[in-house]
Structure 1
Amino acid sequence: MLDLTDEQRAFVSAVADFCRREVGTGPRGAHDPELYRKVAALGWLSVAIAEEHGGAGGGMLDSCLFLEATAHGQLPIGGFNTSIIVAGAYERFGSPEQRRTVLGGIGAGDVWSIAMSEPEAGSDIAALACWAEPRDGGFVVNGQKTWCSNAHIAEGILLVARTSGAPGEHAGMTMLQVPADHPGLRISGIDTMGGREVNDLYFTDCFLPADAVVGTVDHGWKQLMAGLNVERLILAAIMLGTAQRAFDDVLGYIKQRRQFGRPIGSFQVLRHRIADLATEIECTRLLVYRTAELVDRDPGTVLPRETSMVKLKATETARRVALDAMQMMGGYGYATEYGMERLVRSTVVSTVYGGTSEIQREIIGKTYGL
């Protein structure tokens, strides 16, 4: 185990206890607003927000501890995942007023979403074409965003739109703050295997005032790059907790399930599979928290190799654990009664969102001069 402080150990224990009391061992959907407000009241949603903005002043390691514990406990607070990414952008680039209202709101339980991907701009964000035209002292937005997690439950959306240049150029992007109920914005849920957790956003002559800009006009790409450490570590910590949940559930199952007169976990083929999965999870945990410590040591340094490695390793490991667990559970792994099928769905898609595994490998390769 990592060398955590007594305060960090107590924090993890408190979060785990809360999850057991409020959720037990069964999932309760992606996001429960009532539970989310309870978590906010405990101050946990602002664990990594600076003290001057009303937060606890913790670092990336503290965020990862919280995310792993809540993912393992299956606490239905999916809105936090995008909110903490947005919080990082506002801390780095927001105006004093934006920081006060947005960061304070997130700590109190507001959900925020971020809109980057488009139908023709997924892995290649430079290809985005949603246009925010300067007009009448503000911006008029037209275009479509897609795969926007939590937009349907959000108070606001951090939009990345093009304000100059042409699709394919990194220059000319701008971050803009958009209230979720703003005129000219329509949010439409996308049906997926996990339900309606992601959305299409349609902007039609959506006027935003000049103070909607977050950071600097036309510098959105640099601002996005500054947040990569946080985004990839968030996803990695969530999948680490999810992998541990799948492992713990299947371990309990194979200890109890009997075939041929004995527990199926006593057969070598399953013992060895469990040994392999346990080793992979522990390797992932060390990588996640080592990377978080590197980020905390120098928050201003972008770590493309390390954060791509951690996102790749954590999501691929979680997917392997969940799929192997389903196989070991047989038909029960496919039944909604046991919950493993939900873990399979959430881990399979994790290798796609936030930068696919293929993109992470490309980035890692390029850091070696290839």
Structure 2
Amino acid sequence: MPRALSDERRDLVKAVRDFCRRECGTKEQRDKLTANGQEQHNQQLYEKMAGLGWLGIAVPETYGGAGLSMVDLCLFLQETSYGQAPISGFGTTVIAAAAYERFGTEEQKRLVLEGVAKGRVEAISMSEPGAGSDVGALTCRADRTDGGYLVNGQKTWCSNAHFADHILLIARTGRDGTKHDGLTQFMVPTDAEGLRISGIDTMGGRDVNDLYFTDTFVPDSAVVGTPGQAWNQLMAGLNLERMILGALMLGVARRAFDDTLAYVRQREQFGRPIGSFQSLKHRVADMATELACAGLLLDDVAAAIDAEPDRVFAREASMVKLKCTELAKHVTLEGMQMMGGYGYATEYGMEAMLRRTVVSTVYGGTSEIQRDIIGKTYGL
């Protein structure tokens, strides 16, 4: 949590925390909302949050949002994640919405941003079977035709496409220049003719999809930004994506820590609480310290982005993503170990948090990629 909160931010945190406790605070409630953990997003709950004005937290007031800051957004993300609210569509929605806000036409902005504030979901698609970390290797193509483009190819690992309104698609429209040239962003409705969305089963349930495009027509008006310049446009959004993923995982880490702490305080073996044994006490102390450090890092970088919103904080944002996701995975693994068999049981929820955090060091740029980026900023 930030070192000091204004009254307005303290009220926001309390309101979100109370909402999550009331609406999804028990395992029984979460099971009902998520089809026993198979679905990570509940649209009814999501629209309740929209009605409270929270989903438009990062949307400009012109388009029906609150127009708040990165610090506010990170607070909201942490609290919903800590409260285990099944709203997985929010992260990708905010990332996609920011691209439309920065590069879209006025018509695109009104359609998407106003929809976000009302509870609509957006998706973004970059990865392909042969192109993950190497975005420049994309081969899904959009070829010029009368009045627009025909899209052909396959995309994969597209989060939330199965319930989104649109997919912000990155496709290849040219081969001139470097491998990063000739990429273009398109707004593609999920019900577009020639698009097939196929779910991928994962250890985290149904969350990601394969996309198959077969002569899918998109009009010229679907282009987002400048044709052939998607790479530069994507780079402009790196701050937001990495901060979102960092804040979400820090919220999970905090929840896993609190659940672990409650358990080791109560569970007794050999005549005393297991948390009183030095081996566990020191692990708890290390986790608490790391969580405090990660919180300060997230807060500082969020404040820096608010102060200079047009600057790309490549090093700092990568540090946030790296630190918070790796820490979340570590804390949930430690929680499972300290809870013993109960950590493995679905009844207690630690295993669900572990499943959620394991993939966080892969999506949105792997930990290896984040380390490489950080290293490059030091001239290495």
2-side partners of 1:269 and 1:324: how far apart?
Answer: 12
Q: For 1:286, what is the secondary structure of its paired residue?
A: helix
Instruction: State the Cα distance separating 1:195 from its structure 2 match.
Output: 1.2
TM-superposition CA deviations, 1:306-329 (whole Å, max 9, x none): 011110000011011000000000
In the superposition, relative to structure 1, how do residues 167 and 334 fare at CA in structure 2: closer, same or farther (>3 Å)?
Answer: farther
1:274 is aligned to 284
1-side partners of 2:60 and 2:71: how far apart?
Answer: 14
- Note if 1:209 corresponds to 2:219: yes
1-side partners of 2:109 and 2:155: how far apart?
Answer: 25
Tell me the TM-score normalized by structure 1. 0.98
TM-superposition CA deviations, 1:188-219 (whole Å, max 9, x none): 00111011110000000000011000111111
Instruction: State the Cα distance separating 1:168 from its structure 2 match.
Output: 6.4
- Note if 1:333 corresponds to 2:343: yes
Moved more, 205-214 or 47-56: 47-56
2:6 is aligned to 5
1-side partners of 2:131 and 2:325: how far apart?
Answer: 22
2:314 is aligned to 304
TM-superposition CA deviations, 1:78-111 (whole Å, max 9, x none): 1101000011101101111111111011111111
TM-superposition CA deviations, 1:45-69 (whole Å, max 9, x none): 0001111121101011111000000
Q: CA RMSD, aligned part only?
A: 1.1
In the alignment, structure 2 segments of 5+ residues that lack a partner are 35-39
Are the counterparts in 2 of residues 158 and 178 from structure 1 also a CA contact under 8 Å?
yes
Q: For 1:208, what is the secondary structure of its paired residue?
A: strand
Q: For 2:363, what is the secondary structure of its paired residue?
A: coil
2-side partners of 1:130 and 1:283: how far apart?
Answer: 41
TM-superposition CA deviations, 1:295-348 (whole Å, max 9, x none): 111111101100111100000110110000000001111111111001111111
Please list, as runs of the form range in 1=range in 2, the aligned pairs for 1:279-298 lying within 5 A after superposition.
279-298=289-308
- The number of residues matched between the two structures is 370
1:77 is aligned to 87
Tell me the TM-score normalized by structure 2. 0.96
1:23 is aligned to 24
- Note if 1:104 corresponds to 2:114: yes
Q: For 1:20, what is the secondary structure of its paired residue?
A: helix
- Note if 1:237 corresponds to 2:250: no
1-side partners of 2:172 and 2:5: how far apart?
Answer: 43
1-side partners of 2:364 and 2:301: how far apart?
Answer: 17
Are the counterparts in 2 of residues 129 and 166 from structure 1 also a CA contact under 8 Å?
no
Instruction: State the Cα distance separating 1:25 from its structure 2 match.
Output: 4.0
1-side partners of 2:164 and 2:261: how far apart?
Answer: 37
Please list, as runs of the form range in 1=range in 2, the aligned pairs for 1:1-370 lying within 5 A after superposition.
1-26=2-27, 27-28=30-31, 29=34, 30-165=40-175, 169-370=179-380
2-side partners of 1:31 and 1:335: how far apart?
Answer: 22
1-side partners of 2:99 and 2:72: how far apart?
Answer: 18
TM-superposition CA deviations, 1:263-298 (whole Å, max 9, x none): 111111111110000100110011111111111111
Q: For 1:104, what is the secondary structure of its paired residue?
A: helix
Amino acid at match of 1:48: A
Are the counterparts in 2 of residues 117 and 147 from structure 1 also a CA contact under 8 Å?
yes
2-side partners of 1:286 and 1:207: how far apart?
Answer: 47
In the alignment, structure 1 segments of 5+ residues that lack a partner are none
| Identical columns (%) | 63
Are the counterparts in 2 of residues 111 and 155 from structure 1 also a CA contact under 8 Å?
yes
Amino acid at match of 2:116: I
Q: For 1:197, what is the secondary structure of its paired residue?
A: strand
TM-superposition CA deviations, 1:137-159 (whole Å, max 9, x none): 20000001000000111111100
List 4+ stretches of structure 1 deviating above 2 A.
25-29
